[in-house]
């Protein structure tokens, strides 16, 4: 697919929305991390084009913990090698400038925090640690990788021998911090959506809540999303480029030397 240029008029419209907002938030999906080398799920090279999403269900984990962990171990290599990209840094800078108050993310890669974002809600949990499904003890993922690579598959709890599970939300599990995310959305008058197909609920309710409260919705995504019909601004190009241009426009409006 040829790389589409970002439409500068749409970038300017988005900058005006953010500058005039009293309480803007960012909502991100896997598309913000593909430029860091982490595949998304439903894009042209998405994971769900190669594997069945069934592998990410709680039932599959409970019935096939070994195969589940073999899949996750493969994913871990890309996730742990990944570094934040221009889009993550631009989101962190917008928070530093007071333009956005928080990031609500569906991603489990920790790249927003690594880029300097402070107020981050990880609706789908994090790949940075694992939890024992029997006693609840948590382990840094580095420790779990060592267990796997020494042949302990599935990895087990040192305390009680229970099976460890990544602290990510699998299909069939409740998302994390949804009430806090919902409250944030309901008090926001603008949401900047970056890199999500907006096809998974309840996460995709976040931009809908902002819209229902009369707020503005900006969508930056390479492809059309399932919620384009509620967007006030649609920017269809790569997140790294779009966010770099958007940050420049916002800083210009703030009178910040660049």
Residue positions annotated with a catalytic role: 124
User: Is 27 in contact with 196 (CB distance < 8 Å)?
Assistant: yes
Among 81, 199, 213, 256, binds ligand APR (CB under 6 A): 199
What does the alpha-carbon distance between residue 30 and residue 52 come to, in Å, rounded to a whole number? 17
For residue 53, the tally of other CB atoms under 10 A from its CB is 13
Q: Which residues inside 177-196 make contact with ligand APR, applying CB under 6 A?
A: 195-196
User: Is 207 in contact with 227 (CB distance < 8 Å)?
Assistant: yes
What does the alpha-carbon distance between residue 95 and residue 54 come to, in Å, rounded to a whole number? 36
User: Is 127 in contact with 107 (CB distance < 8 Å)?
Assistant: no
Stretch that binds ligand APR, among 65-73, 156-164, 218-226, 250-258 (CB under 6 A): 218-226
Does position 126 interact with ligand APR (CB under 6 A)? The reply is no
What does the alpha-carbon distance between residue 203 and residue 188 come to, in Å, rounded to a whole number? 16
* Shortest Å, Cβ 140 to ligand APR: 21
CA-based nearest residue to 187, from 207, 213, 206: 213
User: Is 38 in contact with 109 (CB distance < 8 Å)?
Assistant: yes
* Shortest Å, Cβ 41 to ligand APR: 3
Stretch that binds ligand APR, among 34-42, 130-138, 139-147, 151-159 (CB under 6 A): 34-42
* Shortest Å, Cβ 29 to ligand APR: 3
Stretch that binds ligand APR, among 15-23, 30-38, 144-152, 247-255 (CB under 6 A): 30-38
Stretch that binds ligand APR, among 27-35, 96-104, 142-150, 183-191 (CB under 6 A): 27-35
The DSSP code for 23 is S
CA within 13 Å, CB half, 166: 30
Give the residue with the Cβ less far from ligand APR, 157 or 217.
217
Does position 239 interact with ligand APR (CB under 6 A)? The reply is yes
User: What residues make contact with ligand APR under the rule CB under 6 A?
Assistant: 29-31, 34-35, 40-43, 46, 106, 124, 195-197, 199-200, 221-223, 238-239
């Amino acid at each position: 697919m040829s790389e589409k240029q970002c439409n500068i008029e749409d970038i300017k419209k988005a900058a005006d929305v953010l500058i005039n907002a009293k309480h803007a938030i960012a909502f991100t999906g896997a598309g913000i991390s593909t430029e860091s080398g982490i595949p998304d799920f439903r894009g042209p090279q998405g994971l769900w084009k190669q594997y069945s999403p069934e592998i990410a269900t709680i039932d599959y984990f409970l019935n096939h913990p070994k195969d589940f962990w073999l899949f996750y171990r493969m994913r871990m290599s890309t996730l742990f090698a990944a570094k934040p990209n221009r889009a993550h840094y631009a989101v962190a800078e917008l928070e530093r400038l007071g333009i956005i108050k928080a990031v609500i993310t569906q991603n489990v890669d920790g790249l927003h925090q690594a880029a300097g974002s402070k107020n981050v809600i990880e609706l789908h949990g994090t790949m940075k640690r694992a939890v024992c499904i029997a006693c609840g003890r948590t382990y840094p993922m580095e420790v779990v990788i060592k267990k796997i690579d020494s042949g302990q598959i599935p990895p087990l709890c040192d305390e009680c021998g229970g099976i460890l599970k990544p602290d990510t939300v699998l299909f069939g599990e409740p998302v994390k911090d949804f009430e806090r995310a919902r409250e944030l959305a309901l008090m926001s008058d603008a949401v900047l959506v970056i890199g999500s197909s907006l096809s998974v609920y309840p996460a995709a309710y976040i931009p809908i809540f902002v819209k229902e409260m009369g707020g503005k919705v900006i969508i930056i995504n390479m492809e059309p999303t399932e919620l384009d019909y509620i967007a006030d601004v649609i920017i269809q190009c790569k997140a790294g480029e779009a966010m770099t241009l958007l940050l420049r426009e916002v800083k210009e409006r703030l009178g910040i030397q660049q």
